[in-house]
């Protein structure tokens, strides 16, 4: 199964009433703004996914900006979305891919195997002049699918410390200026975890935020000496750009590396942790 689905293929699946759940993950800083954005226009049959309450726990300096949600928290959203243990799910956002990738990774971690990202999100859908609807979203009957936490590998801060000390592969998916410590507006310190290599998630997507061809993605990873996800840990600021990179890694057939979800936002808040700057 491909990690990504094109707008046209999703439209055809909806038109032919293929059994699936479409989730629109929209976030904005203002309270309720993501849901208002979803209600104004969304893909037909879609349900709203609130990234702040469905895909993340309570933020804090000890946990980072977007920590993992508790399994029971995600379980409640499984029920609201009517998911079963064997549901096919397609996730999308406005087009940057960050919230969609976060949703893809969380649902895979929770045990669902048939999850795809709408390539290019709502912008790609709009560019093809495909149907758009408004309102609160599709109606579903609550279902009892079970969150099976841990279906994808996760790393915590202690794991990262040990991994870095042993010279393991640690990938920072943020843009180069943040990695180098030249720019930081979100977290307490600028820089990166010592020993990390910088592979910006955006390298794997074109100017329209569409995933690059599988062979091209493989070549980018290979250029960094990576031919498999095995033995790697990936992080970003708080688990979103890293999820975008992990989706590209899965798309390339390399597997899915361990995810340090709390990322730099947690690491940089601990005064005991070393910080490295420069490319």
Residue 140 lies in a domain: no
Instruction: Yes or no: say if 169 and 250 are a contact pair by the CB < 8 Å rule.
Output: no
Q: How many CB atoms lie within 10 A of CB 200?
A: 19
Count of residues making up the chain: 279
Decide if 273 is inside a domain: no
pLDDT band at 124 (very low <50, low <70, confident <90, very high): very high
User: Percent of the chain at pLDDT above 70?
Assistant: 100
- Could you tell me the CATH number of the domain that includes residue 40? 3.40.250.10
In a domain, 204, yes or no: yes
Q: How many domains does the chain have?
A: 2
For residue 104, is it within any domain? yes
- For the stretch 24-60, pLDDT in tens is 999 888 778 899 999 999 999 999 999 999 999 998 8
In a domain, 138, yes or no: no
In a domain, 243, yes or no: yes
- Dump the DSSP string for the chain: --SEE-HHHHHHHHHTT-S-EEEEE---SSTTHHHHHHHHSB-TT-EEE-HHHHS----BTTTBSSPPPPHHHHHHHHHHHT--TT--EEEE-SSSSHHHHHHHHHHHHTT---EEEETTHHHHHHHTT---B-SS------------TTSS-B--HHHHHHHHHTT-EEEE-S-HHHHHTS--SSSSS-SB-TT-EE--GGGGB-TTSPBPPHHHHHHHHHHTT-S-STTEEEE-SSSSHHHHHHHHHHHTTS---EEESSHHHHHTT-TTS--B---
Of 127, 146, 173, the residue at which a domain comes to its end is 127
Given 77, 110, 127, which residue is the final one in a domain? 127
Q: Is residue 174 part of a domain?
A: yes
Short-list 137, 154, 150, CA closest to 243: 154
Average pLDDT over residues 257-266: 97
pLDDT for residue 131 = 95
Average pLDDT in the chain: 94
Cβ proximity of 132 and 60 under 8 Å: no
Using 50, 70 and 90 to split pLDDT, how confident is the model at 136?
confident
CB contact set of 148 (below 8 Å; sequence gap of 6+):
85, 110, 111
Boundary of a domain, candidates 107, 127, 147: 127
Say yes or no to pLDDT of 172 above 80. yes
* Out of 22-26, 99-103, 116-120, 141-145, least confident range: 141-145
Task: Please state whether the predicted TM-score (pTM) of the whole model is above 0.75.
Answer: yes
In the chain, % of residues over pLDDT 90: 86
Residue 216 lies in a domain: yes
Q: Which domain holds residue 78?
A: 4-127
């Amino acid at each position: 199964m491909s990690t990504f689905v094109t707008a046209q293929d999703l439209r055809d699946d909806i038109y032919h009433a293929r059994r699936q759940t479409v989730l629109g993950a929209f976030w904005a800083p203002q309270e309720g703004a993501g849901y208002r954005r979803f209600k104004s226009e969304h893909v037909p049959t879609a349900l709203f996914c609130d990234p702040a309450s469905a895909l993340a726990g309570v933020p804090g300096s000890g946990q980072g900006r977007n920590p993992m949600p508790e399994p029971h928290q995600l379980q409640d959203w499984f029920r609201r979305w009517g998911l079963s243990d064997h549901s096919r799910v397609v996730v999308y956002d406005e087009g940057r891919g960050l919230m969609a990738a976060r949703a893809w990774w969380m649902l895979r971690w929770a045990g669902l195997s048939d999850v795809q990202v709408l390539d290019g999100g709502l912008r790609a859908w709009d560019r093809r002049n495909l149907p758009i609807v408004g309102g609160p979203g599709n109606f579903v009957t609550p279902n009892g699918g079970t969150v099976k936490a841990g279906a994808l590998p996760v790393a915590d801060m202690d794991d990262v410390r040990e991994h870095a000390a042993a010279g393991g592969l640690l990938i920072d998916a943020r843009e180069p200026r943040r990695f180098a410590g030249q720019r930081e507006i979100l977290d307490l310190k600028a820089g990166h975890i010592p020993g990390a290599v910088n592979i910006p998630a955006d390298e794997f997507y074109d100017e329209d935020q569409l995933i690059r061809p599988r062979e091209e993605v493989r070549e980018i990873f290979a250029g960094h000496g990576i031919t498999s996800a095995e033995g790697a840990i990936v992080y970003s600021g708080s688990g979103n750009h890293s999820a975008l990179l992990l989706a590209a890694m899965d798309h390339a057939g390399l597997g899915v590396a361990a995810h340090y979800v709390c990322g730099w936002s947690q690491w940089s808040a601990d005064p005991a942790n070393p910080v490295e700057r420069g490319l």
